[in-house]
């Protein structure tokens, strides 16, 4: 990391060879990232081109998912898995809607901020996808996260390529070990996949026999089994196994899309307004969007609790220092209000309510990112009752 104009940034310096010029992967990454503005995609601030180097200036994010999992062996807390997966899907949905494939999903390419934000990074292998799909190189995606269609030589793929990697990362976060850690070659990697999902045939995967590297006699014939038999911790989390199975489909067209996955029942216990968070943070709009939510919420809240407040006013009129603390969780999260902000309601006197909004500034070393966080006040409003 470097300080540039008082801001901490990350520099990706690419040495240019005089004979070869600028690497194509660097050109691809820069051209794609300059057009992507999303809170779950690493932000490219600037590009500096000199005779010797090409420097990409990124926002600084202090760790990645691989390092995070190394510091929390045995699998992450289920709440953190859910938050990370949701953010990963939001980022992928954003780029897939713009016909962009990442093509190199792995924990090392998912950055984690000190407030728990996940950001897609390293778009060196990414590319814009035209419709219908064209033929692309099959030399993409780190082997452990590479889907079977690519391993078998398919060069005709779509956004479903990325969704296989999502499934592998999802299982790795829950189980604490890689889903398919091949140790030898492509053949070994495919054997590990088929051992769990079953060896494909034309009935289960139409067109598999036409793939360049598919030789039926070279694979052991396995029957598919439940994912929890291979990764037992999937059975401890509601709907996790079903969602993982929708990602880990050998037949590419059967894989769940990022947009559809965001609506899966696995995420049903997330805060109800989390789906409405805007793509880019805009803290200047926090007060305005919050005020609208507060007005609506307080009208409903006070109508149901009027009797309670009347009793409090009569019994505590001499106790102006009363501070009854009532936590109001995520209903105040809305457009313009990031998930790291929380609203709390205080009865500051018998005749007024004080609403304060706090921003989480705590560390990720707690058992869950949602608990034991330090807070700072970013907005305060007093409402007379």
Between vectors from CA 45 to CA 44 and to CA 48, what angle results, nearest 5°?
100
Tokens of 39: 């809170």
Residues belonging to the active site: 104
pLDDT above 90 (res 327): no
pLDDT at residue 130 in the model: 43
pLDDT at residue 276 in the model: 58
Work out the burial of residue 137: count CB atoms within 10 Å of its CB; fewer than 13 is exposed, 13-18 middle, 19 or more buried: exposed
pLDDT above 60 (res 182): yes
Length, in residues, of the chain: 385
CA distance 203 to 247: 19
113-137 mean pLDDT: 67
Q: Spell out the CATH class of 63-270.
A: mainly alpha
The pTM of this model reads: 0.67
Residues in Cβ contact with 118 at an 8 Å cutoff, skipping those fewer than 6 apart: 40, 65, 83, 84, 87, 88, 91, 110, 111, 112
User: Do the two domains 2-59 and 63-270 of this chain adopt the same fold?
Assistant: no
Return the SS3 of 119: strand
Mean pLDDT of the chain: 74
The fold of 2-59 is Phosphorylase Kinase; domain 1 (3.30.200)
CA distance 144 to 106: 9
pLDDT above 80 (res 94): yes
Quickly state the pLDDT bin for 205 (edges 50, 70, 90): very high
pLDDT at residue 54 in the model: 81
pLDDT at residue 273 in the model: 54
pLDDT at residue 306 in the model: 54
More confident residue, 125 or 310: 125
Tokens of 246: 């929708």
E strand map for 76-188 = 100-101, 110-112, 118-120, 127-128
The pLDDT tens digits for 215-249 are: 888 899 999 999 999 999 999 999 999 999 999 99
Tokens of 351: 């005749």
CA distance 288 to 261: 31
92-110 mean pLDDT: 92
β-partners of residue 15 are: 53
Cβ atoms 332, 343 nearer than 8 A: yes
Quickly state the pLDDT bin for 181 (edges 50, 70, 90): very high
C-alpha distances out from residue 32 to 102, 128, 143, 198, Å: 10, 8, 24, 37
* Domain range annotation of the chain: 2-59, 63-270, 283-384
Q: What is the DSSP letter of 147?
A: -
pLDDT at residue 304 in the model: 47
Quickly state the pLDDT bin for 50 (edges 50, 70, 90): confident
Cis peptide before 132 (omega within 30 of 0): yes
C-alpha distances out from residue 88 to 65, 94, 179, 263, 335, Å: 11, 10, 18, 14, 19
The pLDDT tens digits for 262-297 are: 999 999 988 655 555 666 554 333 333 333 343 434
Angle between helices 78-96 and 160-175 (to 10 degrees): 170
315-324 mean pLDDT: 41
The pLDDT tens digits for 58-79 are: 888 989 999 999 999 999 999 9
């Amino acid at each position: 990391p470097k300080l540039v104009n008082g801001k901490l940034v990350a520099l990706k310096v690419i040495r240019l060879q005089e004979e070869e010029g600028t690497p194509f992967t660097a050109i691809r990454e820069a051209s794609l990232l300059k057009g992507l503005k999303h809170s779950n995609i690493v932000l490219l601030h600037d590009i500096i081109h000199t005779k010797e180097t090409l420097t990409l200036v990124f926002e600084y994010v202090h760790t990645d998912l691989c390092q995070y999992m190394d510091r929390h062996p045995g699998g992450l807390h289920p709440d953190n898995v859910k938050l990370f997966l949701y953010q990963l899907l939001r980022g992928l949905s954003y780029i897939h809607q713009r016909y962009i494939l990442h093509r190199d999903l792995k924990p090392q390419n998912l950055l984690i901020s000190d407030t728990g934000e996940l950001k897609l990074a390293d778009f060196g292998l990414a590319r814009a996808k035209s419709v219908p799909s064209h033929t692309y190189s099959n030399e993409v995606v780190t082997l452990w996260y590479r889907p079977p269609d690519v391993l078998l030589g398919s060069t005709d793929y779509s956004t479903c390529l990325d969704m296989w990697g999502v499934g592998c990362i999802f299982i790795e976060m829950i189980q604490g070990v890689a889903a398919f850690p091949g140790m030898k070659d492509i053949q070994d990697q495919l054997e590990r996949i088929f051992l769990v999902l079953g060896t494909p045939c034309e009935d289960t995967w139409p067109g598999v026999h036409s793939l360049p590297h598919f030789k039926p006699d070279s694979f052991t014939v396995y029957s598919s089994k439940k994912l929890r038999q291979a990764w037992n911790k999937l059975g401890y989390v509601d709907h996790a196994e079903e969602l993982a199975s929708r990602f880990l489909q050998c037949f590419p067209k059967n894989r769940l899309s990022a947009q559809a996955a965001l609506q899966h029942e696995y995420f049903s216990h997330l805060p109800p307004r989390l789906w409405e968070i805007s793509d880019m943070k805009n803290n200047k709009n926090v007060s305005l969007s919050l005020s609208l939510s507060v007005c609506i919420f307080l009208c409903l809240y006070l109508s149901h609790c009027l009797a309670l407040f009347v009793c409090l006013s009569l019994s505590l009129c001499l106790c102006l220092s009363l501070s009854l603390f009532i936590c109001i969780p995520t209903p105040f999260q809305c457009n313009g209000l990031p998930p790291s902000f929380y609203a709390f309601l205080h009865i500051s006197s018998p005749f007024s309510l004080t609403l304060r909004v706090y921003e989480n500034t705590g560390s990720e070393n707690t058992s869950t990112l949602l608990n034991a966080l330090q807070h700072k006040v970013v907005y305060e409003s007093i409402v007379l009752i």
